[in-house]
A = this chain, B = another copy of it.
Amino acid sequence: MRDSNASEGERVPRSDEADNAPTAELPAVTDRNGPARTGRAAPGVDPNRVRAIPEAAVARLAVYLRVLSAMAEHGAVTVSSEELSSASGVNSAKLRKDLSYVGSYGTRGVGYEVDVLTAEIERVLGLTRKQKVAVVGIGNLGHALANYGGFPGRGFPVEALFDVDADLVGVPVGGMPVSHIDDIPKVCAQRGIAIGVIATPPAAAQSVCDRLVQGGVQCILNFAPVVLRTPPHVEVRKVDLAIELQILSFHVARKTEQRTRRRVPAARASSNGEVV
């Protein structure tokens, strides 16, 4: 996904390490290792195993978390891998493999305790500490993001808003006044903001990104359809809706093409000889 949106993780290294960089693409996901704190790594497990969690698995763990929380609200106490996987839309073997990255918190013959599993996934995903979010570009999309209750509700309080528009500065949006983009570095550093969301026009995105980095922001979620250049330590994820639509469009085209081909058996051959 994957990604991403799967599909994804397209970070461009800044200038210096420009060309031969192995970089980007699946930026070396993890190596968390076992015990650390919080407790007993599963008994009998290789003591100092350094395990990397595939990014795709991280994305799915977040889905499991959402499903688990819905199940908990519904009163469920335990859940089997079969139930959880079908509710999450994945294969049960894959689910168990994903959970094995988290640790061994299931009971054979029974399943998983919903609250335990929830807590452990949250621990691994680093959700025990709330990450503060700043939104830059309070236009159509920025307004929606600022008003959205789903972020604070999931441990991502929106603690700063920025725009360049003088008419917007000072105006409260979603209960938070908009600041000017010149203050991005200062405000982000002061408030300890970890995640920056860019919802500005594409032309402004890179400069906004630079200021966020300057302010100590560690991750960026980018809605502007441009490739951002960042230093290696900053993680970037992009959400490009036009690309999503184009991927869907591709599938439509493929399907209708197949259907047409089936109806008209004598299709032409393309230049490279393959049947089209």
Q: How far is the CB of A217 from chain B (nearest CB, A)?
A: 10
Chain B residues whose C-beta falls within 8 Å of the C-beta of A144 in the assembled complex: 140-141, 143-144
- The residues in A between 18 and 37 inclusive whose CB is less than 8 angstroms from any CB of B are 18-19, 21, 23-36
**Which residues 211-261 of A sit at the B interface, judged by CB distance below 8 A?**
218-221, 225, 227, 233, 235, 237, 239-255, 257-258, 261
Which chain B residues border A35 with CB–CB below 8 Å?
Answer: 1-2, 56
| Oligomeric state, in copies | 2
A248 touches B271 (CB 8 A): no
Chain B residue at smallest Cβ distance from A12: B89
Chain B contacts of A147 at CB under 8 A? 140
A126 in complex: contacting residue of B32, B65, B254, CB < 8 Å? B254
- Cα distance, A82 to B19, chains bound together (Å): 9
- A10 touches which of B89, B250, B254 (Cβ 8 Å): B89
Tell me whether B88 and A227 are in contact (CB under 8 A). Answer: yes
11 contacts between A and B (CB under 8 A): A1-B34, A2-B56, A3-B55, A5-B59, A9-B28, A24-B91, A33-B247, A53-B250, A67-B227, A141-B144, A218-B252
